[in-house]
Structures are given as structure tokens and as C-alpha cells.
Amino acid sequence: MPAGNFWSVMHGRFDLSQRFAAIRDASVALAAPLSDEDCAAQSMVDASPVKWHLAHTTWFFETFILERFEPDFRPFHQAFRVLFNSYYNGVGEKHPRAQRGLVTRPSRAQVLEYRRNVDARMLAMLRNPAPEVGALVELGLNHEQQHQELILTDVLHLLSMNPLFPVYSRDAPEAAPEGELTWDEFEGGVVEIGHAGTEFCFDNEMPRHRQFLEPYQLASRLVTNGEYLEFIRAGGYNTPSYWLSEGWEFIRAANLTQPIYWRDTHEFTLRGLIPLQPDKPVLHLSYFEASAYAQWAGARLPTEAEWEHAAPACGQAWEWTSSAYAPYPGFKTPEGAIGEYNGKFMVNQYVLRGASLATPAGHSRNTYRNFFPAGARWQFSGIRLAK
């Protein structure tokens, strides 16, 4: 196994077993408000059915841990190795991503049976794990937490396609009002960014390294719905000078005039269609929209180094930065199929920092590097301005 914090595990065997069971149960609980039909549908290529998320996270443990370390390993179902592989070319063939919504079988009940089977085998292994198992389990649990957030983002997109505006859950996470806007000042200079310490992190957060920053200011809070509404009313979506060239072509081609889940004076949320709240953060923006708003506001998006150095509280939205998603100096891709987790995606994407209201508790830190292409709008993404 490669050395470094990517593989560090702070939990003892008993604690890790408890953590495994709790996180696995949390994924099933996220699907509980949904019908079988809800769990099988795929609203677009970039989203996946909830049933697929539940199966793929199980596939991860079966493929990368049980297949390697369980004595007399036998797969739960041989076809699942291909059916629920996502992008790991080192593992073998994959079912086409765009066709995940066509996989009506196995049923939701069979997927849950698959989860129970793998969970029982994993918990048995955790009673006396091989030295490398603990680190792989910790990676698998963080991977599952990423998919827990994706379950919510994908469900929201799916339900938004329904003219009935169905409610996912009245208890779903919701945004809180933002406070007064102030500007925090930073002197800049040579700073260090990247993960340090012994707790878990992903490989793309390392190695820790130095960067030089000019003096800058960072907004104390996120841009709100009311502020973004002013941008729209000022002709923001009709003024090309605010937009990057590709962004202008992007909104013109799709005839975009407002954020993806706005319905004029209302906003579609996991709690259904609600009146637009002016003091709550504007969510579900693309990088193009975030950049255009910053240009209109006489500001800019922060770099990821500025964001991490300032260390704002991780909160309600993943915050777009102006930094391209690229490897840190000295980054090395781990060996094997696990090495495909992050490194091969370091092109044509931008870094987002922080966390969102849909991020599982304990799954955020100031060095976390989320990433999406510039046109992604269905994530819980927002804007924190810099100058």
C-alpha cells in the first residue's frame, strides 16, 4: 500500500465496525422515503438511480476487499462485477453509464439483499482484519459518504422533472439564512496548503506544499437568492460581457435564464416547491453562472489556495473556486485500480471547496477538493466572492 495520509486510519477495530454499520445503514435510510419507481429512474447521464448507488457502494466493498481478503471468496452474483462497476478500468468491463436507468433488474429488494450479504461478510472480516483491510474500509466508507450526497443531488434532479413537484421528505436538509456580509482581509505571502496530520484524506489532497498569495479579501458568507435575483433583474443572463465565452454559449444553447431549480418566485427543493427565500444562499449554480455573477458584482471567485488559507466554515454549499482541478506538486497516483479514484479526472474540471447541506456529518474538512465540470448545475454548489 502507498504511504501517506490517504490510507491512514484512526479507528480501532471495534470503532471501525460500528462506523461501518452506521454509514451503511445511513445509505439505506436515504432511500427509505422513495418508491421502487423512484429508485430505478435515471434523470440524465450525469445522475444515477438510487438503486445503482446502493449497489455500487456495496460492489466497492465486495470487489476491493472481500474478493481480495475473504477466504474461499464467492461473489454474491457474478454479473454484478460488471453491472455495478463505475469507472474502474483496472477491474474490467463496465455497464454503460447512460443505461443505468434501464436496469430494472435486480429489483430494489434484491439490491438490499446484496447489501445485507456483503455487510455481514464485511463485519465478520472486521473481527480479525488483515493489516491492509482497515485502510481500505475507511476509503470505502468515505466513498459511500460521497454517494450519500449524490443520492440526494440525483433524487432532487429526478423529482424536479416531475410536474407534480413531489416532496422527497419534509425532514430533508434545508438551507439556513445567511448573515450580514463583511469582508475578511488576508495579507497573503507564502502559505502551505494540502492535508497534514494523521486523519483520513483522499489522495488528491496531498502532498502539502507551498503557494504564494497576493493580499486578498474573502466574503464572510455565501451569495444569497436575493442578491442573485438582482443579477437576473439587471440583465445578467442577457449581457455577454459578464460571461466567459464558453459560458455564454452554454446558457444560450440551453436558453437558461435562472438557476436550475428556480421556478420564477419559487424554488424546488428536497422539501418540495417553496417560495424563494431572499436571505438563503443561492444553490445549484454552474461555474459559468458563478463566474458571471462575480463579474457583475465587481469581484471574482477565490482560488482554492486562497479559500483554504482563509479556512471559512464548511457550510451550506460547495463553493466554486477559479482553480482548475489539477495534481498538487509531487502528487503520485496510487497503484492498482484504487489509483483510478481521483487522478485520472484531473482535467477539464474546476475545484469546489467546503461542504453542503447534503454532505454527511464528519465528511468535510478545509483541504477537501471536490470537482465538477464548469457546466454542472445539479450539485449543491454556490458562490463565495473574493477581491
Reference 111, options 163, 161, 49; nearest CA is 49
Q: Mean pLDDT throughout 120-135?
A: 94
CA 88/CA 6 separation, integer angstroms? 18
User: What are the distances in angstroms from CA 207 to CA 38, 100, 145, 266, 343?
Assistant: 41, 36, 23, 44, 13
Residue 304 has a pLDDT of: 98
CA 326/CA 75 separation, integer angstroms? 36
Asked if pLDDT for residue 312 goes beyond 80, the answer is: yes
- pLDDT tier at 245 (50, 70, 90 boundaries)? very high
The neighbour count for residue 71, using CB atoms within 10 Å, is: 5
CA 298/CA 296 separation, integer angstroms? 6
Domain ranges of the chain: 5-160, 183-382
State yes or no: cis peptide before 49, omega within 30 of 0.
no
Residue 131 has a pLDDT of: 85
> All 3 cell numbers of residue 166?
413531489
Which of the residue ranges 120-134, 249-263, 331-345 has the most confident prediction, judged by mean pLDDT?
Answer: 249-263
Asked if pLDDT for residue 233 goes beyond 50, the answer is: yes
Q: Phi/psi of residue 135, each to 5°?
A: -65, -40
The neighbour count for residue 118, using CB atoms within 10 Å, is: 23
Residue 4 has a pLDDT of: 35
Asked if pLDDT for residue 5 goes beyond 60, the answer is: no
* Cα–chain center distance at 243: 25
Domain with residues 183-382, CATH architecture: Alpha-Beta Complex (3.90)
State yes or no: cis peptide before 131, omega within 30 of 0.
no
DSSP 62: I
